[in-house]
């Protein structure tokens, strides 16, 4: 991907060049997120940032020209999508470590504590997408009730078609910003591009909503099935039963079961189990130490520890304790 093209239209396009670390810190904080920055070599800073503002999405092409640590950066109300144009950087998202390079893609979710080590050779490409934009897209376009916060898999994606498709999409937007800024300044077109980014990530990057998005009939399921799914996603009471769910949505148990089988291809009991396993896995991966597995299970509505441990191994290929141990090592 070449440099983001220059443009005379400053309404959504900014360029920044500086050798001053404090000035650079302030600008990057405004563009991306609050953080601290430490220089790790005697090489002078030669920061270059090119930014495109699409309203719900901001694209930042960043290189420091020296070795730096970004530590820590707390992401509050935005999702950060990281890849590299050239070189590589090391990224820690909670307990997960990733190498960010041209063939990799990593999404940092709100609430994550992020650390990044960038060398002078690294040219980092970050897209910031707002939390309200994702929530709105899930409910409006995908028919998904947003109960618990959307969280993407902290492990990231290495190689494959998604990182390449992502970089091609961002490169296309950058070319449009440089060659025809008067067209890209249209608010509806900006929202269209942001929607393309969100659809690509929600459809192809693992998250705690992936199963809900991917199941057959997701967009055509009747109201009572959609409401039942929303209850399952919001309610982690260990006494949650199919009978209680059916009562809350105003249908019989048989109608609820038939609706799940017909439109989702799965029974309500299986759906509950899959969702709680997914939540447990996310909690284990993000653990920063000190938590007990049984406490994490209880927080996810799991009381039959042994049976769910077996289900967990069948799905993830390891035990909950192995996942927790791996997270703590990082």
ω into residue 72 within 30 of 0, thus cis? yes
Q: What's the pLDDT at 74?
A: 74
Q: What's the pLDDT at 9?
A: 47
**pLDDT, greater one: 316 or 216:** 316
State how far the alpha carbon of 223 is from the alpha carbons of 21, 197, 217, 236, 247, in Å: 54, 28, 12, 21, 14
Q: CATH assignment of 13-207? A: 2.60.120.10
Mean per-residue pLDDT over the chain, rounded: 86
Task: Report, as an integer, the average pLDDT of 174-185.
Answer: 82
Q: In the CATH hierarchy, which fold is given to the domain comprising 211-329?
A: Arc Repressor Mutant, subunit A (1.10.10)
Q: Which residues contact 276 (CB under 8 A, 6 or more apart)?
A: 236, 300, 301, 302, 308
pLDDT tens digit sequence for 29-62: 888 888 899 999 899 999 999 999 998 999 999 9
Quick one: CA torsion of 77, 79, 80, 83, rounded to 10 degrees?
Answer: 180
Residue ranges of domains in the chain: 13-207, 211-329
pLDDT tens digit sequence for 50-96: 999 998 999 999 999 999 999 877 788 899 999 999 999 999 987 78
By the 10 Å C-beta count (0-12 exposed, 13-18 middle, 19+ buried), 83 is classed as: buried
Residue closest to 206 by CA, chosen among 262, 138, 150: 150
Q: Tell me: pLDDT of 269 over 50.
A: yes
Residue closest to 130 by CA, chosen among 79, 63, 191, 54: 79
pLDDT tens digit sequence for 211-248: 777 655 555 577 788 888 888 888 888 788 999 999 99
């Amino acid at each position: 991907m070449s440099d983001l093209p220059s443009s005379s239209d400053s309404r959504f396009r900014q360029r920044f060049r500086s050798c001053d670390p404090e000035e650079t810190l302030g600008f990057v904080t405004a563009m991306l997120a609050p953080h601290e920055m430490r220089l790790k070599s005697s090489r002078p800073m030669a920061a270059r940032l090119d930014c495109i503002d699409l309203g719900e999405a901001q694209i930042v092409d960043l290189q420091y020209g020296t070795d730096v640590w970004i530590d820590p950066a707390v992401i509050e109300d935005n999702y950060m999508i990281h890849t590299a144009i050239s070189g590589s950087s090391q990224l820690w998202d909670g307990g997960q470590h990733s190498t960010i390079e041209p063939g990799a893609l990593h999404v940092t979710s709100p609430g994550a504590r992020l650390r990044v080590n960038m060398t002078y050779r690294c040219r980092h490409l970050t897209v910031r997408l707002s939390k309200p934009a994702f929530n709105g897209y899930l409910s409006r376009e995908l028919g998904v009730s947003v109960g618990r916060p959307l969280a993407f898999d902290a492990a990231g994606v290495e190689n494959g078609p998604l990182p390449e498709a992502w970089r091609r999409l961002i490169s296309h937007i950058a070319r449009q910003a440089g060659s025809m800024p008067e067209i890209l300044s249209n608010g509806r077109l900006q929202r269209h591009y942001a929607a393309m980014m969100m659809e690509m990530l929600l459809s192809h990057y693992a998250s705690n909503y992936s199963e809900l998005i991917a199941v057959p009939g997701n967009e055509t399921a009747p109201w009572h099935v959609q409401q039942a799914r929303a209850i399952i996603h919001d309610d982690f009471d260990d006494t949650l039963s199919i009978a209680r769910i059916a009562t809350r949505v105003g249908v019989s148990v048989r109608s609820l079961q038939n609706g799940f089988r017909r439109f989702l291809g799965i029974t309500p009991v299986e759906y509950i189990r899959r969702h709680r396993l997914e939540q447990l896995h996310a909690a284990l991966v993000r653990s920063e130490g000190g938590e007990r597995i049984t406490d994490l299970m209880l927080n996810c509505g799991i009381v039959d520890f042994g049976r769910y441990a077996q289900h967990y191994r069948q799905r993830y290929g390891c035990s909950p304790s192995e996942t927790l141990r791996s997270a703590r090592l990082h």
